[in-house]
């Protein structure tokens, strides 16, 4: 494909190998993205089998792992995110005598952006990487092949319960993050900035709109689906033993972070401009 | 039963199977031997479409598995039981749940029936007592026996064994050999065994095929296999201290 351009590359002394490598990376990325979307579509179609006892049990287990087991770290991160937001905005607003408005600032930022964003990052790093490592280990120890020869579709058996769990749990955890973040902001407001709790919460509720909440929760669902898709796909395509499992885990975290940032921006752009 | 017709497969630029053609007759134990990287496991994986050939066809009876997709592929695969090299048990399920998995997924058996069937298969392999344990609590040999119980739980027509005795002690190896032999004699099950272990191959095989460099170098009954004049086969036999006039000839009588 690059052959007709070879002379052009030579004329301008461009590094042809680098362009070839870049082209290969782009093509492979498109190939992986396409296959991951096919896997997602297949797992989505299998949601109809959720009523089966084994699928119900597995989904409940994944809900527990995603939700309950992540609560500790989410609690700490959410609380401190709200506290940092309140402190930073409060210090600036104090210069204009407007520190009473930190309630609005913290609430709007938390429910629009920081809630789904922070929850997404934590879940990608903890749950997403764990999913990639578990499924990746299964792939290199031929457990996925064993499922296939038993005519058990891995998209139904493994991907679907994780997809459902992450899509359901992400908005719930985001609400939890939002509440704790706003609470953390309130504590900083009352103890460090002299904004009383009632004034803080009154301000917080007055200017936040329902739309902010809906868009934030929509983001959370999208992030949950993205994390499930990336982690399961990276796991299922793992090869080359323990090194491959490490590579899949790392890729899951990196790709999920990048997607959360870029898709998060696009959703904000779509709903607010 | 299983027919390979001019199957070619390249992996990572290397020719692993080069126009390989052979037939596994029904009710026989077909053993594939060869050096590491010769293409034995790749051949086995083609039989259940874990790999697709670059060219050529693979038939399972009347079914063309190399072109099958979706429900048809699932139906063909249900004719098989596969024992993987590392047993490939699902680590978060107990021994009982692992063996019961195909029954729960593909039959409408009641829990009582499932338990009866699973116990029966585990008893065959002296693993009934480990029913509640998890794979991580078992030794490699025990995991392999559970893997075999799972492979036979649906009473398949064909069982594929990928290195069934590798890493096992001699007593367990002979137990598995005996089981493969019994499944052929008593139930007429077709078996395809991939192994390095020629002693095991000569004991259980009704046909032995050797692959080297992606090509078949010998495909014969055991008593003919040990008399092969092919240099690669001779080297392979000698490497395991098996000679043409060795004690194995006496043991070959059952196949004559």
Q: Beta partners for B57?
A: B5
CA distance A208 to chain B (A): 45
Q: Which residue carries 């904000």 as its tokens?
A: A268
Q: Do A106 and A181 meet the contact criterion of CB atoms below 8 Å apart?
A: yes
What's the pLDDT band for B252 if we cut at 50, 70, 90?
low
Look at strands B207-212 and B63-64 and give their pairing.
Answer: unpaired
Which of A42, A139, A145, A146 is best to mutate for the B interface (most B CBs within 10 A)? A146
CA distance A4 to chain B (A): 26
- Count CB-CB contacts under 10 A for residue B142: 20
CA distance B11 to chain A (A): 14
Instruction: Tell me: pLDDT of A263 over 90.
Output: yes
Max Cα separation, chain A?
72
How many CB pairs lie under 8 A apart between chains A and B? Answer: 45
CB contact under 8 Å between B105 and A143, yes or no, is no
Does some domain include residue B219? yes
**Which one is predicted more confidently, B213 or B114?**
B114
For residues B1 and B23, what is the distance between their CA atoms, to the nearest angstrom? 7
For residues B192 and B256, what is the distance between their CA atoms, to the nearest angstrom? 20
- Total count of domains within chain B: 1
The CA–CA distances, whole Å, from B156 to A236, B80, B117 equal 27, 5, 14
Domain encompassing residue B171: 27-51+69-255
Q: Do A55 and A104 meet the contact criterion of CB atoms below 8 Å apart?
A: no
For residues A124 and A200, what is the distance between their CA atoms, to the nearest angstrom? 32
Kindly list the residues from chain B whose CB atom is less than 8 angstroms away from the CB atom of residue A57: none
Q: Which CATH number goes with the domain that contains B81?
A: 3.40.50.300
For residue B214, the model assigns a pLDDT of 86
Span A141-149, mean pLDDT? 94
What's the pLDDT band for A15 if we cut at 50, 70, 90?
confident
Q: Point out the residue among A54, A141, A151 whose CB comes nearest to the CB of B86.
A: A141
Does some domain include residue B244? yes
Look at strands B80-83 and B63-64 and give their pairing.
Answer: unpaired
Q: Beta partners for B55?
A: B8
Q: Do B194 and B201 meet the contact criterion of CB atoms below 8 Å apart?
A: no
For residues A3 and A20, what is the distance between their CA atoms, to the nearest angstrom? 11
CB contact under 8 Å between B101 and A152, yes or no, is yes
For residues B41 and A184, what is the distance between their CA atoms, to the nearest angstrom? 59
- For the stretch B38-96, pLDDT in tens is 888 899 999 999 999 999 999 998 888 988 888 899 999 999 999 998 889 999 999 99
For residue A206, the model assigns a pLDDT of 84
Q: Point out the residue among B74, B84, B106 whose CB comes nearest to the CB of A146.
A: B84
Instruction: Tell me: pLDDT of A178 over 50.
Output: yes
For residues A48 and A56, what is the distance between their CA atoms, to the nearest angstrom? 11
Instruction: Tell me: pLDDT of A241 over 50.
Output: yes
- For the stretch A180-212, pLDDT in tens is 999 999 999 999 988 898 999 988 888 888 899
Does some domain include residue B19? no
Q: Point out the residue among B78, B86, B88 whose CB comes nearest to the CB of A151.
A: B78
CB contact under 8 Å between B105 and A146, yes or no, is no
A53 → chain B, closest CA residue: B104
Kindly list the residues from chain A whose CB atom is less than 8 angstroms away from the CB atom of residue B50: 145, 148-149
Kindly list the residues from chain B whose CB atom is less than 8 angstroms away from the CB atom of residue A151: 74-75, 77-78, 105-106
Nearest to B232 by CA among B253, B216, B256, B208: B216
CB contact under 8 Å between B74 and A142, yes or no, is no
Q: Which residue carries 């032995």 as its tokens?
A: B208
Kindly list the residues from chain A whose CB atom is less than 8 angstroms away from the CB atom of residue B91: 138, 143
For residue B188, the model assigns a pLDDT of 85
What's the pLDDT band for B230 if we cut at 50, 70, 90?
confident
Span A40-55, mean pLDDT? 92
Does some domain include residue B238? yes
Q: Which residue carries 């902001």 as its tokens?
A: A185
Q: Residues of chain A whose C-beta is under 8 A from some C-beta in B?
A: 54, 138, 141-143, 145-146, 148-152
Nearest to A207 by CA among A76, A98, A119: A98
CB contact under 8 Å between B84 and A152, yes or no, is no
Does some domain include residue B59? no
What's the pLDDT band for B256 if we cut at 50, 70, 90?
very low
CB contact under 8 Å between B77 and A152, yes or no, is no
Q: Which residue carries 């080069």 as its tokens?
A: B18
Instruction: Tell me: pLDDT of A18 over 80.
Output: no
For residues B165 and B200, what is the distance between their CA atoms, to the nearest angstrom? 8
For residue A1, the model assigns a pLDDT of 55
Of A6-10, A23-27, B141-145, B190-194, least confident by mean pLDDT is: A6-10
What's the pLDDT band for B224 if we cut at 50, 70, 90?
confident
- The SS3 assignment for A197 reads helix
What's the pLDDT band for A146 if we cut at 50, 70, 90?
very high
- The SS3 assignment for B15 reads strand
CB contact under 8 Å between B88 and A151, yes or no, is no
pTM for this structure? 0.86
- For the stretch A68-88, pLDDT in tens is 999 999 999 999 999 999 999
Does some domain include residue B73? yes
Structure token digits, residue B186: 């008593």
Which of B88, B99, B144 is best to mutate for the A interface (most A CBs within 10 A)? B88
CA distance B125 to chain A (A): 20
Check residue B111 and give left, alpha or beta (phi > 0: left; psi -120 to 50: alpha). alpha
For residues A45 and B2, what is the distance between their CA atoms, to the nearest angstrom? 34
CB contact under 8 Å between A143 and B88, yes or no, is yes
């Amino acid at each position: 494909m690059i052959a007709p351009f070879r002379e052009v590359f030579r004329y301008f002394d461009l590094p042809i190998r680098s362009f070839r490598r870049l082209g290969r990376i782009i093509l492979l990325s498109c190939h992986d993205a396409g296959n991951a979307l096919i896997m997602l579509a297949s797992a989505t179609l299998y949601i109809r089998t959720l009523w089966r006892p084994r699928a119900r049990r597995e989904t409940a287990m994944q809900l527990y792992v995603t939700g309950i087991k992540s609560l500790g770290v989410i609690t700490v991160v959410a609380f401190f995110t709200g506290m940092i937001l309140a402190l930073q905005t409060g210090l600036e607003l104090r210069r204009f005598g407007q520190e009473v408005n930190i309630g609005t600032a913290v609430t709007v930022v938390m429910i629009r952006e920081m809630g789904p964003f922070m929850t997404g990052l934590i879940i990608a790093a903890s749950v997403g990487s764990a999913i990639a490592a578990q499924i990746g280990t299964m792939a290199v120890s031929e457990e996925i092949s064993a499922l296939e020869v038993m005519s058990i579709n891995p998209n139904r058996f493994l991907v679907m319960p994780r997809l459902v769990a992450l899509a359901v749990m992400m908005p719930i955890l985001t609400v939890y993050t939002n509440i704790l973040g706003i609470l953390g902001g309130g504590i900083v407001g009352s103890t460090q900035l002299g904004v009383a709790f009632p004034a803080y919460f009154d301000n917080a509720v007055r200017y936040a709109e329902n739309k902010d909440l809906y868009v934030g929760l929509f983001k959370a669902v999208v992030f949950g689906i993205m994390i499930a898709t990336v982690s399961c796909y990276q796991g299922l395509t793992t090869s080359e033993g323990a090194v491959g499992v490490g590579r899949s885990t790392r890729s899951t975290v990196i790709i999920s972070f990048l997607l959360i940032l870029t898709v998060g921006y696009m959703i904000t752009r779509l709903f607010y401009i | 039963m299983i027919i390979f017709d001019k199957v070619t497969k390249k992996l990572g630029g290397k020719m692993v199977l080069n126009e390989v053609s052979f037939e596994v007759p029904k009710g026989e134990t077909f053993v594939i031997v060869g050096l590491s990287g010769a293409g034995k496991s790749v051949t086995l994986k083609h039989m259940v479409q874990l790999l697709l050939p670059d060219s050529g066809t693979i038939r399972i009876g009347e079914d063309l598995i190399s072109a099958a997709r979706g429900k048809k592929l699932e139906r063909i695969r249900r004719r098989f039981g596969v024992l993987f090299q590392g047993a490939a048990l699902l680590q978060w399920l107990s021994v009982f749940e692992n063996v019961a998995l195909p029954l729960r997924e593909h039959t409408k058996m009641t829990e009582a029936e499932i338990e009866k069937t699973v116990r029966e298969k585990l008893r065959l392999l002296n693993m009934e007592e480990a029913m509640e344990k998890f794979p991580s609590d078992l030794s490699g040999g025990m995991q392999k026996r559970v893997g075999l119980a799972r492979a036979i739980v649906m009473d398949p027509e064909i069982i594929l064994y990928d290195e069934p005795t590798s890493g096992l002690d001699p007593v367990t190896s002979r137990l598995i050999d005996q089981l493969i032999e019994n499944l052929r004699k008593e139930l007429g099950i077709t078996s395809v065994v991939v192994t390095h272990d020629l002693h095991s191959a000569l004991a259980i095989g009704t046909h032995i095929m050797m692959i080297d460099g992606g090509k078949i170098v010998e495909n014969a009954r055991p008593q003919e296999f040990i008399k092969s004049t092919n240099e690669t086969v001779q080297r392979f036999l000698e490497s395991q201290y098996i000679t043409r006039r060795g004690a194995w000839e006496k043991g070959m009588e059952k196949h004559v």
